[in-house]
Amino acid sequence: MMKPVTTVSLQKMKQAGQKISMVTAYDYTMARILDEAGVDMLLVGDSLAMVVQGNQTTIPATLDEMIYHGKCVARGASRAMVVVDLPFPHGQLGPMETLKVSARILKETGCAAIKLEGGAEQAETIRVLVAAGIPVIAHVGLRPQSVHAIGGYKVQRHLEQIHQDASAAQGAGAFCVLMECVAAELGAQITDSLDVPTIGIGAGPSCDGQVLVCTDLLGLTQGRVPRFVRKFGELGEGVRNAVTEYIEAVQDGTFPSESESFR
């Protein structure tokens, strides 16, 4: 069995200049495939509210849903580190409430870390979680749970604030900082200035690692995808073709064949 990815091995990857790959996952089957392919980190993102449930934002994801999907993903991962998102508003309820919820996520899912949105204003919460032994990733830059407050999904340009958020998160003990939708130059500066690894999504190539939503990466997402997405596959088309063939085979009676039937 491969050695599991840990906070320590991720830190070593940064030091060795080895890039970290993270992909979202929401179920056992996909988690197994991604894990076997060698992805370093699996994120059970609250993006499941959009990808799995068809909502317009991540806000509807509930704690019970995150735990349910976290369990499914953790069962499929043997090497990758599994990280579960704190859904809205559970990461924003102050240190003790956030600690209770994070502990529940860790105990019930078997994941190894949690991710919460925020930086400087979350420093005390991060400190309390880390003191309790819970590894934390801080999500800075575009915070999707604040989409209504910030007026849409767009590049975040308050450079000084994002820099402060990233360093406050590291100072409070976060083992990793995830940056979303910031200029590549800022992504590079923050990555250089931090000791802990950075993971980017729309944050340029200099981050220590990259994350994508699995359905975007695989070409399963229907409709528009953000500019920072690269499709590494066309699985949507693959599924459509396979199912069309299946329907035809059912309709013309060639499925099931003799070898697919019992005597």
Q: Which residues bind ligand KIV (CB under 6 A)?
A: 24, 43, 45-47, 58, 85, 139, 178, 180, 201, 211, 213
Contact 117, 165 (CB under 8 A): no
Q: What is the rounded distance in angstroms from the CA atom of residue 191 to the CA atom of residue 238?
A: 37
CB of residue 22 to ligand KIV, shortest distance in Å: 8
Considering beta carbons, is residue 35 or 180 the nearer one to ligand KIV? Answer: 180
Considering beta carbons, is residue 40 or 180 the nearer one to ligand KIV? Answer: 180
Q: Any idea which residue has 């697919």 for tokens?
A: 260
Considering beta carbons, is residue 24 or 156 the nearer one to ligand KIV? Answer: 24
| Nearest-CB residue for ligand KIV | 45
Q: Is 108 a catalytic residue?
A: no
CB of residue 252 to ligand KIV, shortest distance in Å: 42
CB of residue 213 to ligand KIV, shortest distance in Å: 5
Preceding amide of 256 cis, omega within 30 = yes
Residue of 36, 117, 180, 260 marked active site = 180
Considering beta carbons, is residue 176 or 201 the nearer one to ligand KIV? Answer: 201
Our separate counts of H helices and E strands in the chain read 11, 8
Residues in the chain: 263
**Phi, psi torsion values for 4, nearest 5 degrees:** -65, 150
Sequence-ordered list of residues with C-beta below 8 angstroms from that of 32, at least 6 positions apart, any chain: 76, 77
CB of residue 87 to ligand KIV, shortest distance in Å: 9
Catalytic residues: 180
